[in-house]
Amino acid sequence: MIRLIPIILIILAFCVFPLDYAGNRKASPAAQEEPGRSAPPESPPKSDAREDSPPPELVLIEINGMINPATLDYIRTGIEESKRRSAEALIILLDTPGGLLNSTKEIVKLILNSPIPVVVYVSPKGASATSAGVFITLSANIAAMAPGTSIGAAHPVSISPSKEEPEKKNGPDGTTDDKSGDDKQSKKSDGSPEGGNAERDIMGEKLENYASSFIESIAEERGRNVEWAEEAVRKSSSITSTEALEKNVIDLIAPDLDSLIKEIDGMKVKLPGGEKVLSTKGSVITKIAMNAKQKLVDILSTPDIAFLLLSLGSLGLLLEFYNPGLVFPGVAGAVCLLMGFVSFQILPFNYAGIALLVLGIALFISEIYVSSYGILTLGGIISFALGALLLFDTPESDLRVGFDVVIASTLAFGLFFAYVIFYLIKAQKLTPRMGFEGIIGKEGSAVSEIQAAGKIYIDGEYWDAESDQPIRKGDRIKVVEVLKGFKLKVKKV
């Protein structure tokens, strides 16, 4: 039974998590009901001047998830396809919690230098353009949001801050005076922060200053609210679609895609080659989906998937170590680990998190060969959980492993080794069945009279035996002790 349970867990994990991930990546029902997404109007109006010309074309792509290298390649594909088709504009339906800063930089660069107008539409209702999504939305030629959406919170975050959040007090000159408690942060003679986390503090400050200047330049280029853009980075300001329109963060609010297309008709946009007036009336919409490579990279760029691959791979190899010869857990574990390593080539990771995960797995393996009665397993579970939380804790991204995934993986390891410890303790309590220890307590018969010494027959073997009491030939006897010289001490049953 102990062999089957981990194998079943691994098989279920392979089946359930990809299906669950694929389900979450599908477009929302509200988005699918919008008629403008899939087909053009049945009878687009025609003017006399363009009676024989084809209707204008709009290219549509949809981003629903993290900003990563797959998203960057997807947007690049959308711009190239729009240029090839001589499309009137590229519309990006956006709903993102954030993502990688490097990918965001490249996406913004693509949009700012695109020869085709780019329209970013935060949709459907309930969607958000958070963190990296703020940069992308502000960089668009036309930024639009659906009612009930939000935008903001673009500050670089970390779940393991290196110091306490300082109190910020405004000085007389308008500058801020950072204090922690009653004393200012101590500094070295060269003016740098003192302590082991100084390098991380300086790196975080540099990253915040860079992100602030980057988003200000984007807002200034597109003529949008520069002050709010800075607040979104430095103070994690977040606002609704109505507030975004009032503050000149976006250009318009549209309840659905059809309304957006009508609203942007006739709007003037600024392109690298000059200004252009959009003509979207009666347009045909061409939706472009991610190709197979982009989908694979997108899945591997998800922190939950990367961590699950690492967890399943480790669990499979541990099961193979515990019971060599099962083959399937070892092969599946090796494949999962290799795919997890591919994810680490895409995602920025924390070396401290990797070290804690390796320590946890080492403690798990040690439990198999050392009977610690659960102490090593408990240490491994704690180390494994902490490593999972810190695995992608870097200033360069907003990516984190979900707490539910951490808990589920930790419980899987805990249950597996609970079974291992249970059977190890049970095995130690079993009566020995082989060797001299295994013969104690067994019964046989006397083949000769035993006064002080004689012979007995037990388990198909003849033994020399002695007894403290007379035993007659044919009496039933029981072994009570193993003596030197291959002799047994018996008593009459």
Phi, psi angles (nearest 5°) of residue 440: -65, 130
| SS3 category, 295 | helix
Cα–Cα distance, 281 to 46 (Å, whole number)? 9
| Integer CA distances (angstroms), 19 to 25, 32, 63, 332, 433, in order | 10, 20, 19, 18, 49
Name the DSSP class of 192. P
Asked whether the CA dihedral 77, 81, 83, 87 is positive or negative, the reply is: negative
Local confidence band at 440 (pLDDT 50, 70, 90 cut-offs): confident
Q: Is residue 262 pLDDT above 80, yes or no?
A: yes
Tokens 């299906």, located at residue = 19
Cα–Cα distance, 156 to 209 (Å, whole number)? 10
Apex 404 CA angle, 399 and 409, nearest 5: 100
Q: Is residue 12 pLDDT above 70, yes or no?
A: no
Q: Is the peptide bond before 124 cis (omega within 30 degrees of 0)?
A: yes
Phi, psi angles (nearest 5°) of residue 363: -65, -35
Local confidence band at 238 (pLDDT 50, 70, 90 cut-offs): very high
Q: Is 217 exposed, middle or buried (0-12, 13-18, 19+ CB in 10 A)?
A: middle
Indicate the pTM of the whole model.
0.66
Radius of gyration of the chain (CA): 35
Q: Is residue 1 pLDDT above 80, yes or no?
A: no
Pairing of strands 176-179, 118-122: unpaired
- The percent of residues in the chain predicted with pLDDT above 70, rounded, is 74
Consecutive H or E run containing 389: helix 375-390
CB 87 within 8 A of CB 117: no
Local confidence band at 62 (pLDDT 50, 70, 90 cut-offs): very high
pLDDT at residue 93, as a whole number:
97
Residue 226 in tokens: 């520069």
Q: Is residue 417 pLDDT above 60, yes or no?
A: yes
What's the whole-number mean pLDDT along residues 458-483? 81
Q: Is residue 245 pLDDT above 80, yes or no?
A: yes
Residue 82 in tokens: 């729009």
Phi, psi angles (nearest 5°) of residue 232: -60, -30
What's the whole-number mean pLDDT along residues 412-427? 73
What's the whole-number mean pLDDT along residues 269-297? 93
Beta-carbon contacts of residue 161 (< 8 Å; ≥ 6 apart): none
Domains and CATH numbers, the chain: 4-8+302-429 (no CATH), 34-42+55-161+200-295 (3.90.226.10), 435-492 (2.40.50.140)
344-369 pLDDT, tens digit each: 888 888 888 889 988 988 887 787 67
Q: What is the mean pLDDT of the chain?
A: 78
Q: Is residue 291 pLDDT above 50, yes or no?
A: yes
Cα–Cα distance, 197 to 398 (Å, whole number)? 20
Beta-carbon contacts of residue 447 (< 8 Å; ≥ 6 apart): 454, 455, 456, 457, 462, 473
Q: Is residue 174 pLDDT above 60, yes or no?
A: no
- The percent of residues in the chain predicted with pLDDT above 90, rounded, is 35
Consecutive H or E run containing 416: helix 403-429
Q: Is 318 exposed, middle or buried (0-12, 13-18, 19+ CB in 10 A)?
A: buried
CB 35 within 8 A of CB 258: yes
Q: Is residue 374 pLDDT above 90, yes or no?
A: no
Q: Is residue 107 pLDDT above 90, yes or no?
A: yes
Name the DSSP class of 453. E
Residue 392 in tokens: 């992608």
Local confidence band at 29 (pLDDT 50, 70, 90 cut-offs): very low
406-415 pLDDT, tens digit each: 888 888 877 8
Q: Is residue 128 pLDDT above 70, yes or no?
A: yes
Q: Is residue 144 pLDDT above 60, yes or no?
A: yes
175-189 pLDDT, tens digit each: 444 443 344 444 444
* Closest residue by Cα to residue 240 from 358, 328, 150: 150
Range with the largest mean pLDDT of 164-168, 196-200, 268-272, 315-319 = 268-272
Task: Give the least confident one: 135-144, 181-190, 466-475.
Answer: 181-190
What's the whole-number mean pLDDT along residues 35-50? 41
What's the whole-number mean pLDDT along residues 208-234? 93
pLDDT at residue 8, as a whole number:
55
Task: Give the least confident one: 219-223, 256-260, 381-385.
Answer: 381-385
Asked whether the CA dihedral 176, 179, 182, 187 is positive or negative, the reply is: negative
| SS3 category, 293 | helix
Cα–Cα distance, 472 to 454 (Å, whole number)? 10
Beta-carbon contacts of residue 159 (< 8 Å; ≥ 6 apart): 389, 390, 393, 400
